[in-house]
Structures are given as structure tokens and as C-alpha cells.
A and B are shown apart, each in its own frame.
Chain A
């Protein structure tokens, strides 16, 4: 998907392409260019949909200064994979996705898509999805993070995510008393 050509050559190619082509070119903070299906981008990202509708898409690569090339590659990869998967309208009529889709749970391919990411790549992708207003990608990535928390004690969760416990002992005691109804197993 990456269009990592020499600048002059790339521009030449784009001049040939008409404005109504079916992909858009996105530029990462470190200057790399990626092409993504216009239909999928507009469907999956409220921000890109707005830019496409408002004509603020730059044929030479729309600047996304907040997103690094690794995260943008994942975003584009996700959009293009989504474009090739079963259209969401048809999903709801099959009983399998009837069980998952409304509850925002990821499809099998979406699980695999995030499972292969490193810790940092996962969070880069959450930030990118958040920035681009990609509700479904946020579902998939946030679901993955919740899976990493599930069934773990507070200490284990702190360890996985490197969370620093900044409570004092007294504060923690106070919280546990205040929310005694939620700490039934202590």
C-alpha cells in the first residue's frame, strides 16, 4: 500500500490520476505516503469522511501530522482489509454476527489484526483511531486492551501497563471502604 517513490516521480503519477479516483493518499508525520480506499476511509473514519466531503483531500498526500508511519500503515491496512470483508449491512442477518456485531465485539479477522501488534503499536493505533474518529477500529483496539486486563488483579494490571500506583495506603483503604459493595471477594 505504501507509495514510497521518489518525490518527482510520484507527483508525475498523481498528475495523471483524475480527481475522482477511488483512493485517497495520506501522509504520515514522518512524510511517508499511503493509499487507502476512498469508500472505506469515508465509511470508517468520520474525520476522513469530513475531509473527503469538504474537498480538503490533497492529491499529493493529505498531511496527518499526528500519526506516525507505522500507525498509519496499520490504519490503512485495516481500512483496506475492511473494504474486502463482508459489507456490514449484510452482517446482521447472519446469526453469527448477530451475536457479536451489536455488542461491538470484534470479528475473527479483526482479532487477528490486533493480536499481532506490539504493546506500543497497539497504543499508537488507538491514538490514531481516536484522532481519525474511527469508531469501529476503536472498538477493536479497546476490546484488545480490555482482554489484556480481564481476570487480572490490580497489581497484575499495573504490571502489564506499567501503571504507577500513586495512592497512599490510607486513600486506598478509604476507597475500599467507600466501595465495599464492589470488593465482595476481599
Chain B
């Protein structure tokens, strides 16, 4: 790549272009450029010039985005993607983004937009995809990820939106490189979310099963966000490396009872007070959270999971920053004091009592005061 002798036109952004600098780049660089384009745009570059005829075939990305603006109906989109996967060469995929076609119908064909998605995901995995993102529009019909575990040595980041996840769909024991998992608006009926390598888990507004608790077994986790948990709060197994965690249990959380603050009101008909882990460790969340340095616990007042876990007198030996939501004032003060007494290095405590008002106190004073209780 010898330096060309062209005068600098640095300040002149709209200067006339006289040379085909793009076409002069090596194939890999052009494929890199194509990998950022939606796949249909990438394929269409084949008509630009001979140089471009086959470049799309080895582009390391599959990006199916905003399908509604690109295809008239789901059949056209299915035809495009199926042809693309059939005619591209066998070079590996790095990134795969799949948005399903937003399709509204009452007829029997409502699975049309999802018909091939499972197959496309399998294709991507078999082509060494590192970063897949699947986004489902589920206004009618739903998409259920294959209930067998995914198998890939290359998968590092997985993002799922509005996907139904059953059985062993979230068993990642056969994905040893998985580092981050993000799930939004998913229905999680899986028995277990398990991965030895997972470091970051973000779960926003997901609905878990009402009848049984999903177990999260991820011993390498460093950060955890469970926002707006619906259904049963999942059970966390030991997470010795976990540093920051946010758990938010809103009104959709099924673990609520207005009679009991610890999930044992004794009424057989109370659906809230059921479904707890048995055995020597009965904690739902605090086993996994006990090594965190930065912890945020938010819940509706009737949700009793935190209160129940507190009665088991957990220890937070590394906890420095703690944020507690409304639920903490509904519980008796002794439990909160117990929590603070078992947090020997706590530096900052904040109560968030209403959405807009944050009641932050001088942390040192607050803690010094409570220590003496």
C-alpha cells in the first residue's frame, strides 16, 4: 500500500472524488464494510461493478433489520433469507441480527414470520457466529426457541427479545465461550439458566413461570440486572465473583402476599406463598448476591422475596453501596438493621421511596447511627 501522492484535501469534505478508493481496498476490508449493511443492501452491491460481483457471498454478517420497510410480506422476507443462506459461500459469520416480520393475522398462517427462524439460528451457529441477536415481534403468535441447548464454541454474546424459552433452551453448558446474555420481554419457562462462562446477565421485563422457579446457575457472573421480573423470582445459586447487581421486582411479580411479609401466610389458597427452595439453603436471591459490592434492591411493598431472604440473616461481607426501595419500609426495622449489621464495610446506603424522590442521607451518619441500634 504505497502512499499516494495526492495533495491533502482534509478540510474540504465535499471535494470532488476522482479515484475509486473504495474499490482499491482489499476484499476483507470491503467485506468489513458490507458487514455493517442490512443484508439485502449488501447483496445488491453486486451490481456496482465487477469488483463487487461476489463480495456479498463472504460477508461475515447476516443483518435482517426493519423487515417491514424492506419486504411487502413475510413470505418475501423468508424467500430472501433462504436464498441468501443458500447462495452465500461457506465463510464464517461473526454477527447475526434477525428481526422477525411484524405480521398481523387471525388466520392459521400466523407462524409465517417465524417459520424459518430456528433454522436460520442453527445456520448461524454452524457458521461460527459469535454475536447473534434475535428480535421477535409477537403481537400475534409467538416464537419458541428450540428447547434443546444451543451448541457452539464461538457464541460469546446472545441477545433475545420476545422469545419463548422452555425446558433446556437456556442451558449453555455446550457454549463454553458465552460471556454475555441479554433477554428482554421473554417468556422464560426454562428450568435453568446455566453457564460456567457467563459474566454479564441482563434480563429486562421478562416473565418467568408462575408454577416453578427458574434456577440461575452462573458461577462466573460479574454483573447481574434483573429488571421488572414477572412471575416467580428466579433462584440464584452461588456467584462468588458477582460485583454489581440490580434486582427489581414489580407488580407483575408473583411472589406477593398482603398478609405475610415472609411468604408464609399459611393460607393454602394463597398462590403467592408457594414455591420455595427446600433443603439447607432456602434463600431465593441472597445466596447469589452475598458477595456483591454494589447492590440495588427494588420491589413493590407486597412483594416479599427480599423480606423473606432477610429473615435468613444473610451476610454481605463486601457490600459498599446499597440502594433499597419501598419494600424496605414495609418490613420491620429489625430486619433492615440485621442486614446492615451483616454488611461490615458498607459505605453508602440510599432509600428510594418513590419513583421521583430519592431519599439519600449522609451515608456516614446514617450508617453510624444504625450501627448503634
Q: Which A residues lie at the B interface, using CB under 8 A?
A: 29-30, 66-68, 70, 92-93, 95, 98, 102-104, 117-121, 123, 126-127, 130-131, 138-139, 142-143, 145-147, 149-150, 154, 157-158, 160-167, 172, 175-176, 179, 181-184
Number of A-B contacts (CB under 8 A): 151
Task: State the Cβ distance, B184 to closest chain A Cβ, in Å.
Answer: 10
Task: State the Cβ distance, A137 to closest chain B Cβ, in Å.
Answer: 11
Task: State the Cβ distance, A31 to closest chain B Cβ, in Å.
Answer: 12
Task: State the Cβ distance, A96 to closest chain B Cβ, in Å.
Answer: 11
Known contacts being A98-B180, A145-B33, is A118 close to B202, with CB within 8 Å?
A: no
* Contact status B29-A126, CB under 8 Å: yes
* Contact status A130-B29, CB under 8 Å: yes
Chain B residue numbers with a CB within 8 Å of A131 are: 1
Chain A residue numbers with a CB within 8 Å of B353 are: none
New A-B pairs, 5, CB < 8 Å, besides A119-B21, A120-B10: A30-B3, A103-B97, A119-B17, A121-B9, A162-B19
Q: Mark B4-35, 1 if CB is under 8 A from A, else 0.
A: 00101111110101111111111011001111
Cβ-defined partner of B6 (8 Å) among A93, A102, A120, A172: A120
Chain A residues touching B, majority SS? helix
Chain B residue numbers with a CB within 8 Å of A143 are: 36
Chain A residue numbers with a CB within 8 Å of B210 are: none
Known contacts being A93-B223, A102-B156, A161-B23, is A175 close to B47, with CB within 8 Å?
A: yes
Task: State the Cβ distance, B175 to closest chain A Cβ, in Å.
Answer: 15
Chain B residue numbers with a CB within 8 Å of A123 are: 21-22, 24-25
Known contacts being A149-B45, A161-B20, is A67 close to B3, with CB within 8 Å?
A: yes
Known contacts being A98-B180, A120-B21, is A158 close to B97, with CB within 8 Å?
A: no
* Contact status B80-A184, CB under 8 Å: yes
Most-contacted residue by chain B among A66, A118, A182 (CB, 10 A): A182
Which residue on A lies nearest to B179, using beta carbons?
Answer: A92
Assess whether B68 is interfacial by the CB under 8 Å rule.
no
Stretch at the interface among B48-56, B116-124, B228-236, B364-372: B48-56
Assess whether B84 is interfacial by the CB under 8 Å rule.
yes
